[in-house]
Structures are given as structure tokens and as C-alpha cells.
Amino acid sequence: MSSSLLMEEIDAFTYREMVTNGEKIIIVPVGAIEQHGPHMPVGVDAMLSKALSLSLAEKVNGLVVPGITFGYKSQQRSGGGYHLAGGLFMTGMTLINHVKELVIELASHGNRKIVFCNGHYENYQFMFEGIDEALRLLKMQGIDNMKVLLLSYWDFVDDKTIDKLYPNGFTGWGLEHGGGLETSLMLLLYPEKVDMSKVVKADPASLPNYDILPIQPELTPDSGCLSCAIEASSEKGEILL
């Protein structure tokens, strides 16, 4: 069977051989199903984390395992909010357990090096918790040589790149939901899935620096986007990638 960077496309015998010495870098894309305005599909976070995981796998000769498609509840101040229809969210407890069980399962095959590539802002701390719990359990079972890397891909965009991409000023990653970063990467990686004619022109959302429960829907812009994607381009996507 031909080799692939995707676990689901290789046979079990090849997989076992590949991971048996624990040196293979296993990459887990983690995304979300969440509204991304009228110009992009709800799968953006899952699609981008998978594409970025694949390009990472190419660079480090890693193996991408089937990712986690569902994420933690979209927050009003970083994703528009979970009150908006079009998202499918899970609770923090479910995400913690999902990540924990996946680490334990991968470790039981001999894997010792795992990278979680996160594409949904709200997932991060729950993923951290799941990995931490898994490593504690594995240690009690005598497995103490795990190395797990947890990252959100936008944290690798440096200040110089930010200046280049946002000449009119950068409003921060929280407000990037459905904005220039995600739209530019989508234009590069999945151009046929973006409709730039539907981008809503608006100033960045103005949200309080605290949360209100229950959610006050009127605080989220009608577009569901927290900043405007009008300046997005595949050239910017290339720089980001």
C-alpha cells in the first residue's frame, strides 16, 4: 500500500511498523464547527488545522491522525458566541476526556511524540488539561518519556508579519474570528470555499473586556465576524503559511 501522511489512508501493518520505536511525530489537528460569517463555511477551524497539520507533517516526516472536529463552545469575545446557529460544540469536560483518551490510546501503540495543532481559540486550555491528565496516568503506569506539544497556529505569526498583514493596525487574535487571518489562509488553501462577495464591511467588533451570562446576543455583530475580512488575500495566506 502506498504511503501517506494521513493515518486513515495507511494500513495497520505499516502503521505499527512506523510507530513502534516511538520516534514518529504524531500530529493531531483540533478544530471546531462554528459559524464564520456569510463568506466562509462552518468547518474553517477544522479545515485549517488539518491543512496546517499536513504541511507540518511534510516538514518533519510526521503522521497526521484523524483530528478532533468538534470544539469547545464559541465565546462571544473570540468567536461570536455559541448562541449563533451553525456551530456544533461540546463541553469542556468532553473535550478534556477526548484529548486524554487519544493521548493514552496513541501512547499504547508505542507513540511518544505528539503534537496537537489547534485551530479554535477556545479549545486551548481544555486540551492542555486532557494532555496533562493523560501524562499523569501514563506515568503511574511506568510510561514517563512522553513529549506532547500543544500549539495554536496563529501564535507563530511574528510582529514583523503582523505589521505587513495589518497596515491599518492589528486588533488582536481574539477579534480575528472570520477576519483577515482565517480568510487569507482559506483563500490560499481552499479558495473554492470562500465567497469574498459576501464579506460584510464593518469596523472590528466592540466588546466589553468581561463576559456576561446569559449571553447578550446584541453584542455580537450581525455578520458573526469580529473583524472585517475585506483585505484578505491568498498572497497574505502564503505569508502566513
Catalytic residues: 34, 36, 45, 120, 122, 177, 182
Q: CA 114, CA 99: separation in Å to the nearest integer?
A: 11
Residues 38-57 that bind Zn ion (CB under 5 A): 44-45
Q: How far is the CB of 82 from Zn ion (least distance, A)?
A: 13
For 146, the grid coordinates are 512522553
* Among 45-53, 61-69, 85-93, 131-139, the segment contacting Mn ion (CB under 5 A): 45-53
Smallest separation (angstroms) from Zn ion to the CB of 40:
8
- Comparing CB distances to Mn ion, the nearer of 82 and 170 is 82
176 touching Zn ion, by CB under 5 A: no
Mark residues 110-149: x for contact with Zn ion by CB under 5 A, - for none: ----------------------------------------
Min CB(119)–Mn ion separation in Å: 7
For Mn ion, what does the binding mask look like between residues 87 and 126, x meaning CB under 5 A? ---------------------------------x------
Interacting residues with Mn ion between 120 and 179 (CB under 5 A): 120
**Interaction residues for Mn ion, span 206-235 (CB under 5 A):** none
Contact indicator for 44, 34 with CB cutoff of 8 Å? yes
Q: Which residues pair with 148 in a beta bridge?
A: 114
Number of residues that bind Mn ion (CB under 5 A): 5
Note every long-range contact of 186-191, with CB atoms under 8 Å and residues 24 or more positions apart, other chains counting: 186/40, 186/44, 186/47, 186/48, 186/237, 187/232, 187/233, 187/234, 187/236, 187/237, 188/234, 188/237, 188/238, 188/240, 188/241, 189/47, 189/48, 189/51, 189/237, 189/241, 190/47, 190/51, 191/234
Least distance (Å) between residue 182 CB and Zn ion: 5
DSSP string, 20-68: TTS-SEEEEEE--B----TTS-TTHHHHHHHHHHHHHHHHHT-EEPP-B
**Nearest to Zn ion by Cβ — which residue?**
45
Q: How far apart are CA 71 and CA 32, in angstroms?
A: 4
Q: Considering the rule CB under 5 A, would residue 182 count as an interface residue with Mn ion?
A: no
Interface with Mn ion (CB under 5 A)? 32, 34, 45, 79, 120
Residues interacting with Zn ion, by CB under 5 A?
Answer: 44-45
